[in-house]
Amino acid sequence: MLAHIDLIQKSNPHFEEFLHSLQERRLRFYATELQQTLELPELEQLEDALRRAMDVCRSQQLELAEHFKPIYRCEETQIIRDWKLSPLAWCLVLVNANPAHPEVARMQLTLIQRGFTEA
């Protein structure tokens, strides 16, 4: 929907700013929150899952900017790279994370079981 509106109003900077703010509101989660949930020592351990989640979006022609945004945050005395994620991106990263982690395996199994139950 946003892409369609964006094409119509591309020359209006106020409208573009409005669309950008709508996209920002959808990016409610941080990858570092998922890192902490999974008790991973470093965000780099989620990088492969982030890449795979982005690949899923690309293959389905979903606009990456609507689901992923690289950011930098100040944490204590250092600046760290992080990602803002939409709810869809959060789930895709979790599903694509290391299945040896109990929480990841639980979510994968739950999604598959729900799929079979609804079929």
**Degrees (nearest 5) of the Cα angle 48, 61, 110?**
55
pTM over 0.85: no
Distance (Å, whole) CA 95 – CA 91: 6
In a domain, 17, yes or no: no
Question: Where does the pLDDT of residue 1 fall: very low under 50, low under 70, confident under 90, or very high at 90 and above?
Answer: very low
Residue 8 belongs to a domain? no
Helix H or strand E encompassing 111: helix 102-118
Q: What are the tens digits of pLDDT across the range 48-96?
A: 999 999 999 999 999 999 999 999 988 888 998 999 999 999 999 999 9
Q: Is residue 56 situated within a structural domain?
A: yes
One-letter amino acid at 34 equals L
Asked whether residue 81 is domain-assigned, the answer is yes
Residue 24 covered by a domain: no
Taking CB atoms within 8 Å and a gap of at least 24, the contacts of 102-106 are: 103/37, 103/38, 104/38
Higher pLDDT, 91 or 3: 91
CA distance 72 to 24: 15
Range of the domain at 73: 29-118
Whether 19 maps to a domain, the answer reads: no
Number of domain units in the chain: 1
Average pLDDT, the chain: 84
Whether the predicted pLDDT of 4 surpasses 60: no
Going by C-beta distance under 8 Å and a sequence separation of 6 or more, which residues neighbour residue 97? 34, 38, 46, 49, 104
Please indicate, yes or no, if residue 13 is contained in any of the structural domains.
Answer: no
